[in-house]
Amino acid sequence: MLVPKVQLIPPPEKVLDLLRSTGALLEGHFEFPNGKHSDFYFQMPLAMRYHGNARVLNVALSRLLRQEPEVLSALPNCAVVAPAAGGIPVAFGVREALNANQIFWAEKEEGRYYFRQYLDARGMKCILVDDIVRSGRGIQLMVDLIRQAGAEVIAIGSLVHYKDAQLDIGDIPYYWLVDIDCKFHDPKECPACNAGVPVEKVWV
Ligand SMILES: [Zn+2]
């Protein structure tokens, strides 16, 4: 019997198609709250609201993470950890796909991340995941937070990664499904503004 070949890890273009089809990826001319302009606008929760899509993305990311020997050897006694809200559906899906034995996430207040009081993560091996990594600042703060909690980050994964993200994570392996070359411009230097394309303001 011929078994159809299942595409286990969708290529970046397929991931982008999925994000476009759910409204999670808009292409145009956007102004962000910091005043910068860009051609791309991601709202990952719009893709994650459909279980089937969330599953495709999370399973694909988990298959990439599984390539890491340290992840394989740590399972199932490790945690999948997310920063605040956006990363939580990714953490649940990746935990399920990897069969890791726990998941927890940080709270975010005034730009600072913290774990719940009495969370004991000492000695724990952690896989840090998020939906999208733009500047890299959030992931950087999470790596620091996990280390301060006495735990170790053995791998990082995100569905989307911006090429210009700045991360100082040493030799921690980092996997993503899509790497986006997204430039942010000051309005004065924005090609779309110069071409007279109307701009749309976005909230976050
Ligand atoms: Zn512009």
Residue 67 lies in a domain: yes
Say which residues have a Cβ less than 8 Å from residue 86's Cβ, sequence separation at least 6: 44, 45, 130, 131, 132
Beta pairing, strands 174-180 & 79-82? unpaired
> Quick one: pLDDT at residue 72?
96
3-state DSSP assignment of residue 89: helix
Å from CA of 169 to ligand 1 middle: 32
Range of the domain at 145: 12-187
How does pLDDT run across 47-65, given as a tens digit for each residue? 999 999 999 999 999 999 9
Distance of alpha carbon 82 from alpha carbon 106, whole angstroms: 7
Å from CA of 42 to ligand 1 middle: 17
Residue 44 lies in a domain: yes
How does pLDDT run across 155-164, given as a tens digit for each residue? 999 999 999 9
Burial environment of residue 25 by CB neighbours within 10 A (0 to 12, 13 to 18, 19 or more) = buried
Given a cut of 70, is residue 4 above it in pLDDT? no
Å from CA of 18 to ligand 1 middle: 26
- What CATH number does the domain containing 126 carry? 3.40.50.2020
Å from CA of 29 to ligand 1 middle: 6
pLDDT interval class at 3 (50, 70, 90): low
Given a cut of 70, is residue 33 above it in pLDDT? yes
Residue 107 lies in a domain: yes
